[in-house]
Structure 1
């Protein structure tokens, strides 16, 4: 698979290599080699033929661009590939050439090659997810007590714990790892059905051939050929899309917190990273940018997979071919977003002082609800709400801090002057104390997420 320079910008060389033209073609040759060996073991083709076929199942022996060009006329890459494989076998053993691709069909070889590539792609994604979640869990633990503004509808709301916020980024990624593995277990299956999915040419030996071929390729045998039953395959693709959406959420928050006016987080800098030739003061969040761009492309690919599920009868016309074209970009975008965020969080700058200053800059207004609840103990909720509302208007009008206005307001109130504990009310303005509820939640969730991560790290991938 060739990608444009703009695709390359949004992904990794590792994932490009997985779906490279040569890699897919080699996967097809692995299928043909394994098929012949399995059939020879079951007595369907001569062992000499299986050896002859295996001897030339090497993508480097073939003109891959010519195969791709021929596939546009033939309707499938498998057709010119099998033709050239047959011709090449015939150069060394004319009799063996008759057994190339015997009893199989084009979709068997293409689907299985894509399954093999997808297995490698999922290994890359799982490794990247493990790295990012471990980094995020460590970051959450380090900042479990760090107060930071929570923001709703893009506006400052109340104080939360940075650790709790980070755990909100990590949890979906752990769920993604688990669900990708589950989906892969159902989707990464051998495709072998022959012309109409019945393995008619192989007769009673068909099931045994399928088991041998699946074992050779390290795959599971499907309950039945899935030429036009694409549900499990599409579900796997959709899990990749959902995971990439979760990466987009992290990138969104990172980019917003890295804005100069906010300045709470910053991506690594130096060596030309994130700089501006015209504005040297800038520290551009390029990792967030890449992750957002990659994630932004994903919904269209996922929608196309769903749209192509209505495949006709026993073999699809156009929709399977469209699905094939949409599949690699899903993984290419996903790994690009994942690697970008690993780069960012691997050397992230956390400015706790700026977080505190951003809280203080709101003049105590974000503590108004807590103050109202505290005052309600003495004068009831309606009166407390009215009292605090008046104070907040003064904060805005006079440019003073709510905590500074409180003592004089209490001393001026007959209902509060001799009844309330002013010290306990003033303690409500402590950001660390305000983040304590989030901290309690974070401690509990951090322990659970660490257990989940350790369990996933111990289990082998597909």
Structure 2
């Protein structure tokens, strides 16, 4: 029987998503092989090894059939999978030039950045799709009035367009953060001095400054960035990436938790896109659970915790760490695939979200007009005096609740109110759609500002 694969049984948010495939064991193995091949080509370009050796290594890396389970188990003897990989690749390539002057951490960290870069491309595409769908919602519902809620209760009116614009803003800010993360090659040698690379270059009678030229070629071969210093125990790249993933997952989690609330039976203002068998309960046939939002929220609750572990690896001892480096691997992989799964799910949710504007109007009336009490207080204060206006409105609100009447009905029966406000003015003041402040303008500004902003290179 083969080793039990991690197919996402306990992590459905990423099960079957592109990010899962991009971060699985086979993807990491491919990145490790690609890194060794890229290093060989870079060394050939810079004159350290023969071109035919680099070609043989590249061909062997592309066609190697390596048992990932056996490689993982062999890593128990060396604390990382690179040692066993080098042995197999050297045999397959038939050349002694594999891994020349390098060290396990150079290869593994560069491969880790390749995995991150490949996953980021998938993740950012899903974020862009999510943002586009949310922009459509914001435009379509620019003036769709709904209850604004603070501390879970009705406060003042807002618009669904403004809520969607806020979701989009967070999504775009996450996208910006991810795009700003620098993903570099690792080229430090055994202890960050690049001594072996330099020594091989000296023996080959190459000009001084070889390690820097090699880093440039290595970065070009992998499509990754260069660094000023080797980063074996200067873990800025992984910490930055984890932080951006943490923000992204949490930003998507904000959307998810809002959707969960708005889909509640007693609220019913939005619904997730329908699908065959989606949202079903094992015990209650009538239920339609908000599964997409639930999956996203599950990732949002995990990634920040995992990212903290990656950040702790900044506290790495000496020039190579015994344990802190190793602890990053699974933590960062989980951050990548959970966030990638959440982004993929968010794109589906945003594209298919069903908005029930009629239910929003109905819910605005649940407090019988009291959702505009702030407006009434503002208008009546200069007419009656601030203290008296507050007293009159407080009494009217209490009476409306006790008698199950609309606030407007109670106010229209008070001479103190009718003496300063004509009936048509009171009716206008009581209309929630006429008290959304700058919501529409804010939606327009959010959409226009982003359209004008240059994209991050």
Query: What range is the shorter-chain TM-score in?
Result: over 0.9
Structure 2 distance, partners of 1:349, 1:60, is: 49
Q: Which residue of 2 aligns with 1:6?
A: 9
Structure 2 distance, partners of 1:428, 1:129, is: 40
Q: Which residue of 2 aligns with 1:160?
A: 158
Q: Which residue of 2 aligns with 1:175?
A: 173
Structure 2 distance, partners of 1:9, 1:143, is: 32
Structure 2 distance, partners of 1:36, 1:418, is: 89
Q: Which residue of 1 aligns with 2:65?
A: 61
Within a 5 Å distance, the mapping from 1:271-310 to structure 2 comes to 271-310=276-315
Distance apart, 1:50 and its partner CA: 2.3
Contact 1:192 1:199 in 2 (8 A): yes
Higher helix share: 1
Work out which of the residue numbers 212, 219, 226 in structure 2 matches 1:221: 226
Post-superposition CA distance 1:312-354 (Å, at most 9, x none): 1110110000011211100111122122222222222111111
Structure 2 distance, partners of 1:417, 1:88, is: 93
Distance apart, 1:61 and its partner CA: 2.0
Kindly indicate whether residue 371 of structure 2 is the aligned counterpart of residue 366 of structure 1. Answer: yes
Kindly indicate whether residue 87 of structure 2 is the aligned counterpart of residue 47 of structure 1. Answer: no
Q: Which moved more, 1:119-128 or 1:264-273?
A: 264-273
Q: Which moved more, 1:228-237 or 1:274-283?
A: 274-283
Q: Which residue of 1 aligns with 2:325?
A: 320
Q: Which moved more, 1:335-344 or 1:239-248?
A: 335-344
Work out which of the residue numbers 147, 150, 154 in structure 2 matches 1:149: 147
Kindly indicate whether residue 333 of structure 2 is the aligned counterpart of residue 342 of structure 1. Answer: no
Contact 2:17 2:344 in 1 (8 A): no
Post-superposition CA distance 1:78-107 (Å, at most 9, x none): 1111112222333xxxxx32x221100000
Kindly indicate whether residue 99 of structure 2 is the aligned counterpart of residue 101 of structure 1. Answer: yes
Structure 2 distance, partners of 1:388, 1:31, is: 71
Q: Which residue of 1 aligns with 2:397?
A: 392
Q: Which residue of 1 aligns with 2:92?
A: 88
Within a 5 Å distance, the mapping from 1:412-423 to structure 2 comes to 413=416, 416-423=417-424
Contact 1:26 1:59 in 2 (8 A): no
Structure 2 distance, partners of 1:418, 1:16, is: 68
Q: Give 4+ residue runs of structure 1 displaced > 4 Å after superposition.
A: none
Structure 2 distance, partners of 1:37, 1:360, is: 70
Q: Which moved more, 1:336-345 or 1:65-74?
A: 336-345
Kindly indicate whether residue 77 of structure 2 is the aligned counterpart of residue 73 of structure 1. Answer: yes
Q: Which residue of 1 aligns with 2:202?
A: none
Within a 5 Å distance, the mapping from 1:198-217 to structure 2 comes to 198-203=193-198, 204=208, 205-217=210-222
Distance apart, 1:131 and its partner CA: 0.5
Structure 2 distance, partners of 1:48, 1:245, is: 49
Corresponding residue SS for 2:142 = coil
Q: Which residue of 1 aligns with 2:115?
A: 117
Q: Which residue of 1 aligns with 2:439?
A: 438
Contact 1:378 1:420 in 2 (8 A): no
Structure 1 distance, partners of 2:310, 2:81, is: 20
Contact 2:131 2:168 in 1 (8 A): yes
Distance apart, 1:381 and its partner CA: 0.7
Relative to structure 1, the CA distance from residue 30 to residue 417 in structure 2 (aligned partners, 3 Å threshold; closer, same or farther) is closer
Relative to structure 1, the CA distance from residue 298 to residue 368 in structure 2 (aligned partners, 3 Å threshold; closer, same or farther) is same
Relative to structure 1, the CA distance from residue 215 to residue 2 in structure 2 (aligned partners, 3 Å threshold; closer, same or farther) is farther
Structure 1 distance, partners of 2:344, 2:42, is: 39
Corresponding residue SS for 2:412 = helix
Structure 1 distance, partners of 2:63, 2:329, is: 20
Distance apart, 1:392 and its partner CA: 0.5
Relative to structure 1, the CA distance from residue 65 to residue 259 in structure 2 (aligned partners, 3 Å threshold; closer, same or farther) is same
Post-superposition CA distance 1:212-236 (Å, at most 9, x none): 1211111222112111101232112
Structure 1 distance, partners of 2:135, 2:408, is: 35
Normalising by structure 2, what TM-score? 0.93
Normalising by structure 1, what TM-score? 0.92
Unmatched 5+ stretches in structure 1: 91-95
Distance apart, 1:59 and its partner CA: 5.9
Distance apart, 1:387 and its partner CA: 0.6
Unmatched 5+ stretches in structure 2: 199-207
The number of equivalent residue pairs is: 443
Contact 1:25 1:59 in 2 (8 A): no
Relative to structure 1, the CA distance from residue 202 to residue 5 in structure 2 (aligned partners, 3 Å threshold; closer, same or farther) is closer
Structure 1 distance, partners of 2:421, 2:41, is: 86
- Output the aligned Cα RMSD: 1.8
Contact 1:2 1:20 in 2 (8 A): no
Relative to structure 1, the CA distance from residue 59 to residue 324 in structure 2 (aligned partners, 3 Å threshold; closer, same or farther) is farther
Contact 1:150 1:160 in 2 (8 A): yes
Contact 2:123 2:344 in 1 (8 A): no
